[in-house]
Each structure stands twice: as C-alpha cells, then as structure tokens.
Amino acid sequence: MTVSVKYQNRKKKVVTVIGGGTGTFVVLSGLKAYPLDLGVIVNVMDSGGSTGKLRDQLGVLPPGDLRQCLVALSEAPNLWRKLFLYRFDAGDLKGYNFGNLFLTALEKISHSYPDVIKTASFVLKIKGKVIPATYKKTNLCAQYSDGEVLRREHYIDENINTKKKIIRVFLEPKVKANPDALKRLEKSDYIIVGPGDLFTSIFPVVLVGGVKKAIGSSKAKIIYNMNLMTKVGQTTDYKASDHLREFKKYIGREPNYVIINNGRIPKGILKWYQDNKEKPVSNDLAKTNFDGKIIVADVVDDKQYRQSASDSVKRSVLRHSSTKLTKIITKIIYA
C-alpha cells in the first residue's frame, strides 16, 4: 500500500490497538503503511484449537493471537508471512499452525517472553510493537444470567446453543498487566478497540490488572470499530447500543468515535450467518445519549472467507475491509 507524501513529514502519532484475532489483523494490516508509532496489546487467554493444545501440553503462553498480530505488522518477504500462516492438513500435526509452533519453540529456548517477541519481530521484520497484555497464565471465565459459570475461553466460544445472557466475564486467577502494556497506553494518542468478539477477544485484555485504569487515565482518544455481526451465545440480538453499553462497562470510558457499517452484505454471506443464528448489528445509536462522533460508512469486505478444513475452530466468513477501515481511521488521526 502506497501512502501519500503528505503524511511523511508529520509528527508520528502513538496509536495502540487492543484485541487479537482477525479483526485486529485487519486494522494492523492497513495502518502499518502509515508513518505511525503503531503498537498492539494482545489477548493471551485463548484456550481453543491447536493454540489451546500447545498451552495445555507444553505450558506456553497461547501463541495464536500474538502470531496473527506479528504477521499483520510484518514487512518480511511473502514466504515468511505464508509460513507463519500455514496450517498442516494431515498427519500428527493436522490442525497445527506453523507460526504457533515457531513461537512455542522460541519460548522453550528463550530466557524470557520479551525475547520471544524480539526474535519473532526480527524474523518477520515487523513495523510496530506487539505487546502481550500479560505474561502470566490465566483463564477467561463467564457468568451467565442463571448463575452458571464457564471457565476457559473456548468453552465460552463454543457455548452457541445457550439462550442465557453473559452478565460478567472475569479472569481466574487475577493477573497483573505487562508493564510495557501500561506504559504504552499512558503515552498513546489514539487507542483503537475492535473489531472482534467482545467477551472473548477484546474484554480479556482490559480485565488484566491495571489495564482499565491505564485507559481511564490516558489522554488518548478512543476509536471503536463496531462489529459487523452479532455473536451467537455471546451477543445474541445485541444492537449497537448494547455493544456500547458493555464497552463502557468494561473499558471504563465511552469511545470518542464509533465506526459502524451501513454497507451491503452479500446475500450468500448473510445466509451463512442466518443459518448460524447471527445477524447484522443494527445501528440504534441515534436513540442513545452517546456524546462521541458516530461514523456510519461502508466498511464491508464483500469477499467470503473460507477456512481450512483442518482448522477445528469455527471462523467468521465476513471481515471488515482493511482498505475502507484504514481510510476512515487515518482521516481521524490526521485531521
């Protein structure tokens, strides 16, 4: 992606993204083309799929979301990016991702996890900083409206048939934040949240001890990328106002900007979501007392994503368009 010369001589803004997974990948992939001091604070509570197996069997920090963020920021030759995204489809390694195995091996031979990130960043020639929210191992837990509690992220993610609402999520055990994550938030000019699953991708980061307080005391402006679709078992039937309510509850502040989609979603993709009891997030923010700026725009990538047959974790088939989203975000940053 070529960036206009007009941005090159401006003072670098400190931009920090919060989350993990495909939504964060989309945001980072677009922003890395701009002259920003770019960083991401990554969720490390994943417990499903091959990532969960590596965590359980080898005692490592879950590498999946960290690997996606590293690849998103990579400016290495395409071969390296392909390798880090490659998933084995047969044999004993079926379902395992090469990048996850690489990070796992690095953790086993390194003196500390910062060394893991430093080495992987060098190999992938990343533009920016990838910062785990914590170096401590913990589990995401969810309490439902009837009092039931599920422990571990993948159990929450797979609880798709429930009609009960999540009333709170928490970490067990409680853990302290990576000091680098807190320093990063304190000096940020902009904090970008989402897109991503609220309860299993975004909120786990702010549940880490010290993160919510650091966001609250930061002078950064917050940009919230509203999800395109609801998430069955987690945000079933949520409207935009429901997402914003939970955002404020866990983040501790309202965003300064909310970006919400009004673009057309292709019929084939819409049918896939309807079959999975999910639907587009409806925009009812005009009826709320939200004081920030609401940006309504087409941010849909109309390509239907196909996941590998060897990938045991259900993935969404719809994404935000990196190009469309980046155009809006940079317009805010460089206003």
Which region, left, alpha or beta, applies to residue 193 given φ > 0 means left and ψ of -120 to 50 means alpha? beta
Structural domains of the chain, count: 1
Q: Both ends of the chain: CA-CA distance in Å? A: 20
Residue 220 lies in a domain: yes
Cα–Cα dist 259/292, whole Å: 11
Of the candidate ranges 56-70, 117-131, 194-208, 312-326, the one whose mean pLDDT is the lowest: 312-326
Confidence of residue 24 (pLDDT cuts 50, 70, 90): very high
Residue 311 lies in a domain: yes
- CATH number of the domain at 175, please: 3.40.50.10680
CA distances from 176 to 66, 78, 111, 132, 255 (A): 18, 36, 20, 12, 24
Max Cα-Cα span within the chain: 57
Residue 94 lies in a domain: yes
Bridge-based pairing of strands 257-261 and 221-225 is parallel
Compute the mean pLDDT over every residue in the chain, rounded to the nearest whole number. Answer: 94
pLDDT of residue 312: 56
Residues 100-121 have pLDDT tens digits of 999 999 999 999 999 999 999 9
> Residue range 137-164: average pLDDT?
96
Neighbours of 108 (CB within 10 A): 11
> Residue range 164-182: average pLDDT?
98
Residue 4 lies in a domain: no
Cα–Cα dist 173/95, whole Å: 29
Residue 3 lies in a domain: no
In the sheet that holds 221-225, the strands lie side by side as 129-132, 37-42, 14-19, 190-193, 221-225, 257-261, 293-297
* Domain housing 172: 9-333
Residue 1 lies in a domain: no
Residues 128-138 have pLDDT tens digits of 999 999 999 99
